[in-house]
Amino acid sequence: MSGPTSEYVTLVSRDGFEFIIPRNVACVSGTIRRMLDPSSKFSEGLTGRCVLDEFPGMVLEKVCEYLCYNDKHKNDINVPDMDIPPELCLELLMAADYLDV
Amino acid sequence: MAAMRARHKIRAPKRGVSKKTEDFDSIWTDLSSFLTGINTKEYASLEYEDIYRLAYKIVLMMRAPDLYENVKQLEQNWLQTSVQAIVTDSISASLIRAEKSTDAQDQSSERREEGEKFLTALKVAWEDYQFGMGMVADVLLYMDRMVRSHDHPPIYVVCMSLFRDHILRSSIRPSSNLTVLDILESTILFMIQLERSGHLIERPLIRHCIQMLEGLYETLTEEESSKLYLTVFEPAFLNTSKEFYRAEGQRLLEIGDATTFCRLTTQRISEEQERCRFMLSTATEPKVLDLLDSELIRANIEEVVNLEGTGVRHMLDHHQLDGLRNVYVLNRRVDNKKSALTKAVQKRIVEMGKEVNASSILLPQAPAPAEKDDESEKKPEKAKDKEKPQNQQTVAAIRWVDDVLALKKKFDDIRANSFSSDQGIQASIGASFAEFINLNPRNSEYLSLFFDENLKKGIKGKTESEVDALLDNGITLLRYIKDKDLFESYYKKHLSRRLLMKRSASMDAERQMISKMKMEVGNQFTQRLESMFKDMTISEDLTANYKEYVARNGDPDQKPVDLEVNVLTSTMWPMEIMSNVKEGTVRLPCIFPREIDALKQSFERFYLDKHSGRKLSWQANMGTGDIRATFIRPNGKVQRYELNVSTHALIILLLFNDVPDGESLTFDDIKNRTLIPDHDLIRNLQSLAVAPKTRVLKKNPMSKDVKPTDAFSFNHEFHSPFVKVRIGVVSGGANKVENKDQRKDTEKKMNDERNGSIEAAIVRIMKQRKKLTHSQLMTETLSQLSARFVPDVNMIKRRIESLIDREYLERVSEEPPTYGYVA
Amino acid sequence: MDNEIPLPPPRRIRHRSPAKSTNPSTAVSSFYRAGRLSRFDDRSSQPSSDPALFSSDDIPASGLENYHATVSGAGRKRRYRGTWWGEQVADPKRKRAEFREKRNFDSGVWMGSDEPGSESLLTSEDGSNWGEDLRKTVLDPRPTGLAAPPSMDSGSVLLNPAAAFQRTEESEAQRFARVVVGQCLEKGQEHIDLGGFQLGSLPPGLLQPLKHLTKLPSFTEPPATENAFTSLQPFLRIYLPNNSLSALPNDVFELNNLRVLSLRSNKFTEIPPAIGRLTDLEVLNLSVNRLTYLPWELLKLIQQGKLNHVISRPNPFHPIEEAQIETWHCKPEPDSEPEEEPEPEPQPTTNSTLPKMQLPLRIHLQLTPPPSLQLGPDTEPNPVWAPILVATGPTNTMDMDGKPVQPTPYNRPSETTSKISNAPSLRELALRAVSKLPYLDQTTDQELADFPPLIVPLLQRAREVRLAGGQTCSVCGREYVLPRTEWMEWWDISPHESGVQLRRCNGMLLRPLPFRRFGCSLSCVPSV
C-alpha cells in the first residue's frame, strides 16, 4: 500500500488519522503533487506516505473529500457545489491555501 | 454555531504546531541545512512536508522576500564554492590553447578526449544543479506564490540565472578572459567539425550540453528568443558552418564531377538535417540549410551544371535521369526558377534541334538528281505499292517531324522523371523547341505533310487512341510554330487534295484533327477548313439530288453518265486549285466533249435552278472520270478495261473516239481541240502515253518528253492484269514538298494574304480607337495577329503607309507619331 | 371645485437644460479641436442628457401618480393640474419624436448638451478641474443660498470597506445630501435630486432609508375621485448627475424599488455587476463618465427586467474596431447598399488602422412578426427590440487565487502542469461558505491580518462581494466569490438607447457596446 509507484497514497493528519486515496486524486493538490513527484527524492515520494502536520483529521477528511470531488467532476460542465460546513470553512480555506487546491 | 456566534468575529484558526517559539533565523537555519542537503544530494530523510512547512511559516511571518534573497544567496555560494571549481578543473590546458581554432585536424584525438571530459563534467554539474533546483522550487512553492504577487520571478528562474552567471559566465582561470561558455562553444564546434569530416562523436553528450543552453535564458522573463542557445551558440555554429561549406564547395568543384557534387551535397543536406534534429535544435535546421544552400549550392550550381563532360549536357545526352534529378533538386533549393539548369537544358535542346533541322535539309540532297526519273518511273507502280513514300523530300519532311517529336518525347520524359514535372521548366523547354522549330523555314509545310501522310496512310490499322496520340503530337508541334497562317495554307492545300481525291483514310480522323486544331489555335483558324468539309457534305447531297433529278427529267435516249460533283466555295479553298489565273494569263476553260458538255449543262441547269445568281466554274484539272475503253486486239479479240483517269485525260481520250484507227493526233491538235493548258496537257499525255504500265496512247516518237510535235494514237495493244486501271497524273495528285519555285510562289501568296490581314487588323484597331500613337498601334497590331503569325515590323509600317495613301488613316501628329482614323 | 378647464400651462424654459448651457456651435468646434473623437462614439444618435430634462413627466407609468403629486420643497418638479392636454403640452415623448424627425440618424452632429462634460473629460484628467469645468458650464439651478458645497476629497467607499464604519469626517456636501434625502423621506417624495453637489462619494447609509420611503397619499385635491386611489408604491428616482462620483455605496443596490438612476457626468470607470440587482430599474443614465465597458448584468436587466432606456454615450468605450475579437456573431452584409449615411465626418478621423472586419456593421434580419404587432420589448426576444450579440472577445482565465493566469514559460523539466479541472477550487468553495458567515461584513482588516497573507485578499474579496449583495456567475447562475474567467461581449442595444423604444429596421447601423462578463469556473466560458 505504499512505495513510489503504488496506485494509492496515504495522507496522515496531525492527530494521526490516515486517509488512503488514489495517487492521481491526491495530486489534485499542487503541494501534494510536488511532494509525491517520483522524479524528486523526497521521502514522501519514496514511501507514498504524506504526514500533513498542519491539519487535524477533521479538516483532512474534508480535504480528501474535496480531492475526490474535484477529480470526479474535473471534466463536467455543470459541477454541483460541494457542501462545506460553516464551522470548517475557515480551516478549509487555510488548508486549500496550504495545499494549493 | 452558537459558540462561533458568541465570538462574532472571524479569527484565524489556531495552528497546531506553533508551540515552540520560532523566529526567522532559527527557521532559516533549519531550512538552509535542508537546502544544502539537496545540493549535496543527501536526500536521506528529506521530507518535503517539513521543508515546505518551514517556508510556509516564514511566509506567514511576512518574511517571504527575505527568504527569497537568502535562498538566492545560498545557491550562489554553492555554485561559487563547489560547482565552479569542478567545472573549471575539467578544462585542460590544451582546450584553452585550441579555443580559437575549430579546425578538426590538429591534435584531434587529444583535444577530443579532453573535450569530452570537460563536457561530461559540465553536463553532470548542470544536471545535478537543475535537478536540485527543481526540488528547491518544489518545496518553496508557497514562497513562490507569495513573491509572485511582488513581481519576483519564480525562484527556479533566478537559480537558473545564477548558474548562467556563476558557472558559464565565470572565467576558467583567475587570470583568463575566457569563460566556461567560450570553451563550451569551441569544444562543441570542434566536435561538430570532427563529425563533418567523418568521425564518430559522442552525440548524446553534446545533446545534453545543447539542452542546457536551451534551458538557460539571458533574461529573467525567459523569452523564447533569449535562450543562450540562440544568443550564443547558434550564431557561432552558423559562422563555422558557413566557412566550412564555402571550403567544401571549392573542394567539390575541384573534383570536377557533377554527379559526385550532387551526391555529396545531397548527403550533406541530410547530414545537417539529422544533426539538427538529434544533436542541436530543430529551430537551427532551416538556418543551417539556408547557409548550406547559399554557400555550397548557390555559389557553385552554375559551374556544376556546365561542367565539361559530366554536366547537365552529358546527363541529357546519356539520359541520366537520376543525375538530372539531383541537379534539379539542388537547383530548386536555391533558385525557384532553376535558371542554371534551365539554361543548360534549353541550350542543349536548341543544339539538338538544330541538328535535326540540318539533317532534314541534308537528306534530300543526295537523291535529288534522280528525282525526275524516279518519279516517272515510279508513278505507275504506285497503284501496286502504296506504302512506298512518294519521294525523298517528303520522307525528309516526315522524318523531321518524327525527329522533333522524338526529341520532344525525350525531354518530356526527362521532365516527368527528373524535374518533378516542373511547370517553369516545361515552359522553358517549350520556348526552346519553338526556337529551333522556327529556325526551320519549312516547318509549316513539313508538319502539314506529316499530317497529310498520316491521315492518308499512317493511321490505317491504328486504334483510336493511337491516332489520337499521333495527332496530339503533331498538334504539340503546331503550338510551337510561329507562322500559323502559313501552316494553315499548307494544310488547306493538302486537305483539299485529300478531300477531292478521296484520299483520306478516315473522315473521323480528319474531323478530330480539325477539332484539335480548333482547341489549340482557335476558331478563326479552322473556320475555312471546316467550310471545306461543309462543301463536301453539301456536294454529296447535291450529287444525290442531281441523280434523282436526272432520273426524273433525263433524256431516256441518252446514255446516262454518272456525275459526282463537288461544289466548292471559291474563297474557302486553296487559291491554286481555284484560280484560273496562272502566271498572269487568263486560262480559258477547256472544251469538253459533247457528252460531258451536255452533262455539264444539265447540272448547271439543275444547280442554278436551286441557287440562282451563282457562278459555277468547272475545274477540270481536279476531277477524275471512269471510262470504259474497248481495245480491239490484232487477233480481233475485244478487251475491255475500265480506266480511271483525270478529267483532262478523259477529255483527251474521248477525242480518240472520233479518230479512225491507225490515225493519230498531234500534240497541237489535242491542245487546240481541248484548250487544256500546256502544263496539264503534258502531264496527262505523259501518264497516258509514256508511263509504261498505263500506256493507253501510243506516242510517236517514243520518248519520255512530250513535245508539241509529237503525235498520239490509240494503243489497242494496251494490256493490264486488272480490269480496272487507275491512271494517275504525273506529279499531280500527291502532296509533297514544294520545289523552290512553288515555295516562292507560296511565300508570295502568303505575303499577300498577310498584308491583307495586317491591314484588316490596323483598320479594325483604328476604327475602334480613332487615334493612336505609332508604338501603341504597333503593339496592338502585333498582339492581334500573334495567334496567326508574327508579322515583320517593316511589313506593318508599309501597310500603315499604304493605308495612309489610300486615306484610311491620317497622320495626326509627328511628336510622338500619331495616326487618326479617317471615317 | 374649479371646473373650468385651465389653459395649458405656458411652456417654460427649463433652466436646467444643459442644452441651454452652452452654445452648440462652439461646442462642436471645440470638439473638433479635441480631436480624439473616436474614443467617444460620436455616432450616438441619442442625447446623453437625462430624461430628467423632462423628468417629472416622461415616465409613462408615472402619469397618474405624478398627476397629483404633492408640491415639494425645491419646486423643481413641475406639477400639472388640469386636463390631459395640459400634460400633453409638455409631453416629452412628443417633443422627442419631433426632435427625431427633424434630424437624420447618426448625422454626426455632436449634441451640444454633451459638450461640457465630454470636453473636460478629454482635456482634463484632473479630477478637480473636472468639477470646475462642470461648475462653470452647468448653470446651477439652486438658489445662491444653497450654492454647491466645495468639492471634496473623493475617498472611495468601495475600495476601502473599512471606511464604512468610520463615519468620522463627512464633507459639507455629504451633509447637505443627507439633508436633501431626509427631506424627501419626510415628505414622501420619490424624486431625489442630488445633482451638481460636487459629491466625491456618497456616504454609506445615505440612501439606505429610501428603501422604506412611502409616498404620502395626496389629499390636496378634493374631492377624492377614482384617481385618488393611487398606489403608494413609490416610483423612486435618484439623480446624481454632475458629481465626482467614482463608486456607489452598496446600499444603492439594495433599493430594489429604484426606477430611475442617473449617474450622468461623474467619474465612474466601471459600473459594478451588482447593478443587476436593481430589478425594477427602468431608466439608467451613465453618459459622460469614464466607462470603457458596461457590466454584463445590465443586459440581463434589459432582457429580463424592466430596463428600457440606457443612456450610455458618450463614454470612452473600448471601440470594437480596435478590440481583439474571438468570434463574430454578426457578419456584415457583403454589399451594403449605398445609403445616405454615414455622413462625411468633418473631423480628422483617426481610424487609419482599419479593423480586420469591415465596419460599420449593418443589421439585416427577418422582421417577423411585423414590428407593428409588437407592443413592447418584454414580450419575446425579437430582433427588432432585443439586444443583439455582435462579437465576443477572448477569454481570460484566472488562477485559484483570482489572479490572471500568466503564460510564463516556467521552464521546469520536472514540472507537470496539473490538468485543468472544471470543478471549483477548494479555496472558492471555502470562500463561498465564508461569505455566508453572518459576521463577515463586520470583520475588520485588522482581524483579517491574522490570516496567512495569501488568504487576506481572498477574504477581503469575499467581504466585498458580500457587501455588494453577492454576485452570480453570468453563465451558470451560481453565486461565487472569485471569478475564473472573464471576457468582453459586444452587444447592440440601440432600441434601448433612446427613451422611446426605437425599433430596428433593416440596414440600420449596429452600434455595439462592450459588456464585461465573468464566469465562476473554467467551464463557464462563452458558448460557441
pLDDT greater at residue C24 or residue B273: B273
Minimal CA separation from C433 to chain A, in Å: 6
pLDDT at C227 over 80: no
Q: Which structural domains are found in chain A, ordered by start?
A: 8-99 (3.30.710.10)
Contact state of B8 with C415 under an 8 Å Cβ cutoff: no
Distance CA B759, CA B754 (A): 8
pLDDT of residue C487: 92
Give C429's contacts in chain A (Cβ within 8 Å): 66, 81-82, 84, 92, 96
pLDDT of residue A69: 93
Omega within 30 of 0 (cis) for the link into C342: yes
Contact state of B59 with C451 under an 8 Å Cβ cutoff: no
pLDDT at C356 over 70: no
| C-alpha atoms less than 13 angstroms from C-alpha of C227 in its C-beta half-sphere | 15
Question: Closest partner residue to A92 among C426, C436, C523, by Cβ?
Answer: C426
Contact state of C426 with A95 under an 8 Å Cβ cutoff: yes
Give A96's contacts in chain C (Cβ within 8 Å): 400, 425-427, 429-430
**Grid cell 490596323 — which residue?**
B762
pLDDT tier at B71, thresholds 50, 70, 90: very high
Tell me if C486 is assigned to some domain. no
3-state secondary structure C344-387: CCCCCCCCCCCCCCCCCCECCCCCCCCHHHCCCCCCCCCCCCCC
Distance CA B285, CA B274 (A): 9
pLDDT greater at residue B730 or residue C433: C433
Residue % of chain C over a pLDDT of 70: 50
Distance CA B720, CA B714 (A): 15
Q: Using CB atoms within 10 A of its CB, is residue C351 exposed (0-12), middle (13-18) or buried (19+)?
A: exposed
Q: Which amino acid type is present at position B777?
A: L
pLDDT tier at B812, thresholds 50, 70, 90: confident
pLDDT of residue C148: 40
Largest CA distance in chain B: 161
pLDDT of residue B729: 67
* Rounded average pLDDT over B211-235: 87
Contact A79, C423 (CB under 8 A): yes
Minimal CA separation from B416 to chain A, in Å: 54
The residues on C that touch A, with CB distances below 8 Å, are 400, 414, 416, 418-427, 429-434, 436-437, 451-452, 454-455, 458-459, 476, 478, 521, 523
Q: Which of the listed ranges B42-51, B122-131, B441-450 does the model predict with the highest average pLDDT?
A: B122-131
Give B62's contacts in chain C (Cβ within 8 Å): 453
Distance CA B645, CA B642 (A): 9
Give C427's contacts in chain A (Cβ within 8 Å): 93, 96-97, 101
Return the H-helix or E-strand segment holding C201: none
Residue % of chain C over a pLDDT of 90: 6
pLDDT of residue B538: 86
pLDDT of residue C422: 84
The ipTM estimated for the assembled molecules is 0.94
pLDDT of residue C522: 84
pLDDT tier at A21, thresholds 50, 70, 90: very high
Q: Which residues contact A72 (CB under 8 A, 6 or more apart)?
A: C423
Subunits with at least 3 CB pairs below 8 A relative to chain C? A, B
The tens digit of pLDDT for each residue in B764-782 reads 888 888 888 888 888 888 8
Task: With CA atoms as reference, report the closest residue to B62 among B151, B143, B148.
Answer: B143
pLDDT of residue C57: 43
pLDDT at B198 over 70: yes
> According to CATH, what is the number of the domain B229-299?
1.20.1310.10
Give C430's contacts in chain A (Cβ within 8 Å): 84, 89-90, 92-93, 96
Minimal CA separation from B64 to chain A, in Å: 15
The tens digit of pLDDT for each residue in C246-286 reads 888 888 888 888 889 999 899 899 898 888 888 889 899 99
Omega within 30 of 0 (cis) for the link into B560: no
Q: Using CB atoms within 10 A of its CB, is residue B705 exposed (0-12), middle (13-18) or buried (19+)?
A: exposed
Residue % of chain B over a pLDDT of 70: 88
Q: Is C445 on the interface with B (CB under 8 A)?
A: no
The tens digit of pLDDT for each residue in B724-747 reads 887 776 554 455 566 667 777 777
Domain B621-726 superfamily per CATH: Cullin; Chain C, Domain 2 (3.30.230.130)
Q: Which residues contact A49 (CB under 8 A, 6 or more apart)?
A: A2, A9, A10, A12
Q: Using CB atoms within 10 A of its CB, is residue B682 exposed (0-12), middle (13-18) or buried (19+)?
A: buried
pLDDT of residue C377: 43
Lowest mean pLDDT among B66-75, B546-555, C166-175, C235-244: C166-175
The tens digit of pLDDT for each residue in B339-372 reads 888 888 888 888 888 888 888 776 544 443 333 3
Distance CA C18, CA C342 (A): 27
Contact C363, C371 (CB under 8 A): no
Largest CA distance in chain C: 93
pLDDT at C8 over 60: no
**Percent of chain B as helix, strand, coil, to the nearest 5:** 65, 5, 30
The tens digit of pLDDT for each residue in B605-643 reads 888 888 877 877 777 777 778 888 888 877 778 888 888
Task: With CA atoms as reference, report the closest residue to C469 among C304, C250, C256.
Answer: C250
Residue C209 has which C-alpha cell?
432609508
Q: How many domains does chain C have?
A: 1
A-B contacts at Cβ under 8 angstroms = 70
Q: Which of the listed ranges B716-720, C120-124, C418-422 does the model predict with the highest average pLDDT?
A: B716-720
pLDDT at C137 over 80: no
- Average pLDDT over chain B, rounded to whole? 80
pLDDT greater at residue B71 or residue C52: B71
Tell me if C9 is assigned to some domain. no
pLDDT of residue B124: 92
* Rounded average pLDDT over C144-162: 40
Q: Is B145 on the interface with C (CB under 8 A)?
A: yes
This prediction's pTM = 0.62
A-C contacts at Cβ under 8 angstroms = 91
Residue C429 has which C-alpha cell?
468553495
* Residue C305 lies in domain: 28-311
Tell me if C174 is assigned to some domain. yes
pLDDT tier at C43, thresholds 50, 70, 90: very low
**Domain ranges across chain B:** 65-226, 229-299, 325-528, 621-726, 742-821
Q: Which residues contact C7 (CB under 8 A, 6 or more apart)?
A: none
Per CATH, domain B742-821 is 1.10.10.10: yes
Omega within 30 of 0 (cis) for the link into C369: yes
Q: What are phi and psi of B772, to 5 degrees?
A: -150, 150
Contact state of A93 with C422 under an 8 Å Cβ cutoff: no
pLDDT at C155 over 60: no
pLDDT at C369 over 60: no
Q: Is C443 on the interface with B (CB under 8 A)?
A: yes
Contact A39, B130 (CB under 8 A): no
pLDDT tier at A58, thresholds 50, 70, 90: very high
The tens digit of pLDDT for each residue in B320-335 reads 888 888 888 888 888 8
The tens digit of pLDDT for each residue in B504-534 reads 777 888 888 888 888 877 777 788 788 888 8
